[in-house]
Amino acid sequence: MANFGGHAIPGTFFLLYGLWLAVKHTLRHRWRKGKTPGRPKAPTFLRKMEYVEGGFMMFAAFVGIMVEQFVVDGPHARLYSSGAWVKLMNWQHSTMYLFFGIAGFANVTSLIKSMPLGIDRMSISLALFVEGFLFYYHLHNRPLLDAHVHTLLLVPVFVGSANAMLQVFLRDNIILELSLACLFFLQGSWFYQIGCVLFPLSGPKWDLMLHNNVMFTTMCFCWHIAMALLIISIVALLVCSIVKRVSGESRNVELGMRNTTNSSQKALLDDTDED
Amino acid sequence: MANFGGHAIPGTFFLLYGLWLAVKHTLRHRWRKGKTPGRPKAPTFLRKMEYVEGGFMMFAAFVGIMVEQFVVDGPHARLYSSGAWVKLMNWQHSTMYLFFGIAGFANVTSLIKSMPLGIDRMSISLALFVEGFLFYYHLHNRPLLDAHVHTLLLVPVFVGSANAMLQVFLRDNIILELSLACLFFLQGSWFYQIGCVLFPLSGPKWDLMLHNNVMFTTMCFCWHIAMALLIISIVALLVCSIVKRVSGESRNVELGMRNTTNSSQKALLDDTDED
Amino acid sequence: MANFGGHAIPGTFFLLYGLWLAVKHTLRHRWRKGKTPGRPKAPTFLRKMEYVEGGFMMFAAFVGIMVEQFVVDGPHARLYSSGAWVKLMNWQHSTMYLFFGIAGFANVTSLIKSMPLGIDRMSISLALFVEGFLFYYHLHNRPLLDAHVHTLLLVPVFVGSANAMLQVFLRDNIILELSLACLFFLQGSWFYQIGCVLFPLSGPKWDLMLHNNVMFTTMCFCWHIAMALLIISIVALLVCSIVKRVSGESRNVELGMRNTTNSSQKALLDDTDED
Amino acid sequence: MANFGGHAIPGTFFLLYGLWLAVKHTLRHRWRKGKTPGRPKAPTFLRKMEYVEGGFMMFAAFVGIMVEQFVVDGPHARLYSSGAWVKLMNWQHSTMYLFFGIAGFANVTSLIKSMPLGIDRMSISLALFVEGFLFYYHLHNRPLLDAHVHTLLLVPVFVGSANAMLQVFLRDNIILELSLACLFFLQGSWFYQIGCVLFPLSGPKWDLMLHNNVMFTTMCFCWHIAMALLIISIVALLVCSIVKRVSGESRNVELGMRNTTNSSQKALLDDTDED
């Protein structure tokens, strides 16, 4: 959908998915590190959220496909008509959504015990690969700046695909997991930037053939990387500190008055050993 | 062989090989996971099938080479004649078959105990690499769409080669193994698609220079990926459920009337713990 | 900054950083290998140096950004003015420095215990990636030799980025660590070479379109590799021999007169088993 | 050196080095697998051969550099003369030899115990990288077929470099080791092929612009791969069977008449369990 909204909607989804991944993986990391008998509830909550995540991805993919097909100027499920392909752009977007739907389905089925570990990451990797693959062959015959901002989009897409593929083999590596969150966030914010560049809401139009604009967008992409790093780091730190407070409180409540002094001393130690 | 049949024959082989790999690796995976004293027959059967697989690959490669050489318009084993190379296309196809024959040979020899682990995967990886390598230099001076559909073929070929190479080091990873099955299946179905595009059995000819046709085939390739995923998943699930039923029955027969109740309770547990 | 100084300043920093990495990692390697109760002081010293390193990187990045912005012909923090981007080159350099600053910050925070291992290497990898990424899109429309010497610069930058990324997963591998030191040293010395080629201090100007000059610089780059190898090796050997002497003395002093004979015999054995 | 001899000499070295690597690594593999108290002599012999190998590489590199510099039409150690670079081709070849000399030096020093494991493979990887790197920028402005046969040479060079780099981390993997032997052998035989194509000893000259010649050489390269596989496999099998016979004999002699029956039964078992 060639307008600002058509870039802002997927952008919003990717931004939120990046934030959610950061929250989820930070929680899982905390839980992995502090597997104490005092907080056994986290994994149940996390398992339920996986179902919600997978279900939401399937739902969003379905809605996305429907919208792409049945918007006013969409193909209305016709692929070939009177000797020509109908609205291939919409069909391509539908195909991308399909693979994110498959990823959502794999996310849910990966919770079944007898399923092999890692099919969730494999399917996310595939969804990103297909997205990048279709975008890559999307770019022929476009003006310089248009092609360039879409080429830059391929960086978070393909690096994200490689990252998710690596997670199939290197599970539970918090650096890989937060990097993937960053890459999704970056992709989302870059979608907004593309919308701003190609369909500016206000101000003058960008000159799509000016080389200086290409140089600026390249640099601007790096600023987006820095911003994604910053925001994902803040989210991870916030989640950590909330978990620490909540789990501290619940432990205190649980353990009662018996060993409060003991526990708070331990909490002090937890803080001071961060050296 | 530049006709529909020339693409359908290798396509059929790759489709069947993909299906067979899915069956084989699912069986091996089930056997690895459930190494109980009750079912010691699986590995013997699987070992025998490896001989059959390797033998068949050698046989098919031999037949393929013979056909490429001695069809009516083939080179008849002449390479250079009256100052020009004779039918280089047929010679290139023969070379590809040769490496799949070598892979079959390596498959059989890898069953000898003192052979290093992984030469079977190494040789499959090499066979795919050579196939992709020859195709890559095959594409000069072809019309746009012809070159494009062959370029897309390189995706399953080279990704498959990398996958098989990875399996040399990461053995017995079911995700890698089923991915390779998918990639062979995808290659097979894409061979059919190439045949349909370049030599349509019915309907109008495709315009080989139309950019929209390039865009459609790119998207169509993604649909082939989804279909390959679907079919390989169904095959793997079918094999799993058949194995479960058969092994359950054989256990029941074996154990006799003594502990049927016990065993069926266990089977129930096996089903219910898949949550 | 398009003059010799503008290449010599970053070159000097990279040369010194490469030397420092060689010293640091050799010390850490010696300490890892000889974790004897006799020398517990090394890690404290190394920890302190990490703070100094990180702090210095942040400081240098800050100074670099300020200089790029507020030199006489700099953009003075204006990005867009009267319908055109202001001094994009300076802004790009500022962006590169920003990511090295982030790497310095990550270096310091990675010393906090609850931080995940490897964020220091990840951030160095990212800083090098951003540097290479910006340089890559820097090269359009430049004369042949200018583009070529900058392309060669991308080799240590991107290989260094991949190397640092690998160190996230393969920690404490001395070969990777010294290779990274070599790559930084190589980058530094190549910056000097670029300065010499584009802005020769004396002698005739280089013909930027002559193909022989391209061939010479390619070969010259290999000589820089050999020189970087040589110097980093010498530094590592010097550090090793100094550590051996110092630790030997301190052990002797510590252990006193009690078992001097014993200890020197051991030192002799340490020397002789290097066969 | 642009003649048949100039390609045959390095070709011969690479062929012999490939064969030697196959012999060495098969011996080491046999010794690793059968670490029995009965044959403690193999490693000493292998250690000595490493010195010989490293020394020979240094010597050959030195001779190569001298020859390239002081042949009749060589640069005679002058680099720049009367405003132009002198014989850059010879200087580039000298640079390549230099890095193989460094690899030989690293091979010898890697035998010192306190040296980090893997610097021998690292340096071989670097030598191949530099070779490929210089060849890659060697190819501008050459006729089609000339450029193509040199591009094909880059395949064994860069794959060999990646293989040797991988061996830094995955030590003692016989498949990687024999693959590297194959790649060196392939490089050697392809050097001969390049010599034959560009400077045919007899028969007509090749048309350097004919596309069919490009297609033939691509296919011919695959035949060289198959041949390299075959010869390295035969060498490895020969070494294995000789070792088996020799070690069997020596064991028999050693153990004397006491338990001949026992030992020969064991040998029989060794043969029969290869199923």
Mean pLDDT confidence for C184-191: 97
Is residue B188 within 8 Å of residue B13, measured between CB atoms?
Answer: yes
pLDDT of the residue at D176? 95
How close, in Å, is residue C112 to chain A by CA atoms?
A: 5
- Please report the pLDDT score of residue A251 as a whole number: 65
What's residue C36's pLDDT?
Answer: 55
The token pair at D9 is: 């000499």
CA distances from B229 to A161, B8, B42, B132, B224 (A): 17, 21, 26, 22, 8
DSSP C186-251: HHHHHHHHHHHHHS-SSSPPP-TT-HHHHHHHHHHHHHHHHHHHHHHHHHHHHHHHHHHHHHHHHH
Q: Which of A88, A97, A100, A130 to mutate to test the interface with B (most CBs of B within 10 A)?
A: A88
The model's pLDDT over D210-227, given as tens digits with 9 standing for 90+, comes to 888 999 999 999 999 999
Helix ranges restricted to H, C76-170: 88-109, 119-136, 144-169
Within an 8 Å CB–CB cutoff, is residue A218 touching chain C?
yes
Residue with tokens 């008055």: A257
Half-sphere exposure of B28 (CA within 13 A, CB side): 18
Residue C180 near residue C26, CB atoms below 8 Å: no
With an 8 Å Cβ cutoff, is D29 touching chain B? yes
Chain C interface includes A223 (CB < 8 A): yes
B215/A95 Cβ within 8 A: no
Partner C, chain A 122-161, Cβ-Cβ below 8 Å? 155
Using CB atoms, list chains with 3+ pairs below 8 Å to chain B: A, D
What distance in Å separates residue C216's CA from the closest CA in chain D? 7
In tens, the pLDDT along D7-47 reads 999 999 999 999 999 999 999 888 887 765 555 555 777 88
- pLDDT by residue (tens digit) across B85-119? 888 889 999 999 999 999 999 999 988 888 888 89
User: Tokens 């990636």 — which residue?
Assistant: C129
Interface test with B, best of D178, D205, D215, D220 (most B CBs within 10 A): D215
Interface of D with B in 181-200 (CB under 8 A): none
Strands (E), chain B: 80-81, 84-85
Mean pLDDT for A36-46 is 62
pTM of the complete model: 0.89
- Residues B148, B214: contact at Cβ < 8 Å? yes
Are C223 and D65 in contact, with CB atoms under 8 Å apart?
A: no
Q: Do chains B and C touch (3 or more CB pairs under 8 A)?
A: no
Report chain B residues whose CB lies below 8 A from the CB of A114: 240, 274
Q: What is the pLDDT of residues D44-101, one digit of tens each?
A: 778 888 899 999 999 999 999 999 899 888 888 888 888 788 888 899 999 999 999 9
pLDDT, tens digit, 9 for 90 and up, residues B149-180: 999 999 999 999 999 999 999 988 999 999 99
A145 φ, ψ (degrees, to nearest 5): -70, -40
State the alpha helices, DSSP H only, in chain A.
4-33, 42-70, 88-109, 119-136, 144-169, 174-198, 211-255, 260-272
Q: Which pLDDT value is given to residue D270? A: 47
Does residue C84 belong to the interface with chain D, where contact is any CB pair within 8 Å?
A: no
Q: Name the residue type at position C162.
A: A
Please enumerate in sequence order all residues whose Cβ is within 8 A of that of B230, keeping only pairs 6 or more positions apart, or say none. none
Q: Please name the chains neighbouring D, where neighbouring means 3+ C-beta pairs under 8 angstroms.
A: B, C
Taking the Cβ of residue D86 and every Cβ of chain C, the question of whether any pair is shorter than 8 Å is answered with no
d(CA C228, CA C185): 6
Pairing mode, strands C84-85 and C80-81: antiparallel
Under the banding of pLDDT at 50, 70 and 90, the label for residue A265 is: very low
3-state secondary structure chain D: CCCHHHHHHHHHHHHHHHHHHHHHHHHHHHHHHCCCCCCCCHHHHHHHHHHHHHHHHHHHHHHHHHHHHHCCCCCCCCCEECCEECCHHHHHHHHHHHHHHHHHHHHHHCCCCCCCCCHHHHHHHHHHHHHHHHHHCCCCCCCHHHHHHHHHHHHHHHHHHHHHHHHHHCCCCHHHHHHHHHHHHHHHHHHHHHHHHHCCCCCCCCCCCCHHHHHHHHHHHHHHHHHHHHHHHHHHHHHHHHHHHHHHHHHHHHHCCCCHHHHHHHHHHHHHCCC
Question: Residue C21: how many CB atoms within 10 A of its CB?
Answer: 23
- The ranges assigned to domains in chain A are 4-272
Strands B84-85 and C84-85: unpaired
Is C243's pLDDT higher than 70?
Answer: yes
Closest chain D residue to C272 measured between Cα atoms?
D113
With residue A84 as reference, give the H or E element that holds it. Answer: strand A84-85
Are chains D and C touching, using the cut-off of 8 Å on CB pairs and a minimum of 3 such pairs?
yes
Quick check: B31 pLDDT over 60? yes
Q: Which residues pair with D84 in a beta bridge?
A: D81
Is the per-residue pLDDT at B218 higher than 70? Answer: yes
ipTM attached to this prediction: 0.86
Contact partners for chain A, using 3 or more CB pairs closer than 8 A, are: B, C
